[in-house]
Each structure stands twice: as structure tokens, then as C-alpha cells.
Amino acid sequence: MSEPYQGQRRHKMMTEEIRKRLPKLYETENLPIEEKMAQVKYFSPYNGWRWYAVEFDGEDTFFGLVEGFEVEWGYFSLSEMMNVALGGNTLPAVERDLYFVPTSMKQIETEARNRHAGVA
């Protein structure tokens, strides 16, 4: 899959290392949240949205936690995140957090829900 806006982004949205770490879709569905791990984080510096991927189909579809208008579990698309742009389609709107390390989903979900509830 080619990555649009690669020149502006200057990093890959999906690396082979991350791809290998991500379990396949449904592989962790029977694990309690304490055992689920986010392997990669995407974010928009323009609206504060965050996407935490727990599983990946190997092509385009992730399953994980989305922190946007609400905090909810669901599916999201790598290609859609790569293609969202601002400024007359010249500025990528979603980035990969280059400094993110795999983190417990229990911790991430707790922090996300606290942010939405206005808890520091």
C-alpha cells in the first residue's frame, strides 16, 4: 500500500516491525482488557483524536480503542487515516506516534475516559 503525503509526513504509518507485533483480527477477543496491549498509536494534532490499535487484519483494518467524540472500541482503517488531509489536501491530518511503546489497554482506556470526564 503506497503512503500518500509521505514527503510531508517523513515517516511510515505502518512499519514491518509494527505489522509483525500486531495480533490478527479476533486473536485477542477472549483476553481480558488487562491483557490486551495497544501496539501502535495514531493521532491527529489538529483535533485531539487518538486511535490505539490492538489487532490488525494485515491489510487495512484495525481493531482497538478510538478516542474522539466518545471513547469507544471499534474498527478503523489505515488507508482512511493515511488519506485524511487538511489545507487543500496538502497536509496529512493523522500521524503515527513515533515514541509510543506498547501499552496496556486498561491503562489507555482509563486515561482516555478520565480525559473525557475532565479528570486530570
pLDDT tens track for 28-83: 999 999 999 999 999 999 999 999 999 999 999 999 999 999 999 999 999 999 98
pLDDT score for 41: 98
**Residue 2: pLDDT above 90?**
no
Task: Scan for cell 500518500, then name that residue.
Answer: 4
- Please give the radius of gyration of the chain, using alpha carbons only, rounded to the nearest integer: 14
| Residue 1, in any domain of the structure | no
Q: How many structural domains are present in the chain?
A: 1
- Could you tell me the residue range of the domain that residue 47 belongs to? 6-117
List CB contacts of 67: < 8 A, sequence separation 6 or more: 49, 50, 51, 52, 112, 115, 116
